[in-house]
Amino acid sequence: MISKQPSAGFTLIEILIVIGLIAILAGIVLVAINPARQFAQARDAQRQSDIQTILNAVGQKMVDNKGVFAVGGCNALPPSTTTIMTTSGSSSGELGCLVPMYLSALPFDPIAGSGTNTGYSIYQDVNGRVHVIATTTESAIPRTTPIEIVR
């Protein structure tokens, strides 16, 4: 009598089931990680850091000059929201006078900053408080207001 040897491989159905389970698990992991949101949060963290750096530099210049910013070639801080530019002579009240004494270079927004436009805005309100704003919003992060730090 001839005995039948057991099969030494997987059946097509078994392989398809395993591939299907791997695909489902990969989909769940991809949704949980959400790389687009992670990158958006990283860019927002960079914006927060950049405007904090700008505000610290403005504050340090004011401390060094007894509360006055418009010293040593710096224009007065604008009274209304003005985009920070990097070239001299711009009508934006640029902060080029902070470089290199207080900043190694003016920071640029990860997406909106290009050319001479840093992508950030600044103004000083009537109470003397300085506002630095990152107006760019990320579509992956629902937000109704821009990132702003006031001091």
The amino acid that residue 146 corresponds to is: P
pLDDT digits (tens, 9 = 90+) for 102-119: 888 888 888 876 777 888
- Cα 78–Cα 98–Cα 105 angle in degrees, nearest 5: 115
* pLDDT recorded at residue 23: 95
Give the span between the Cα atoms of 97 and 105, in whole angstroms: 10
Q: Is the pLDDT of residue 93 over 70?
A: no
- Residue 19 pLDDT exceeds 90: yes
The larger pLDDT score, comparing residue 16 to residue 79, is at 16
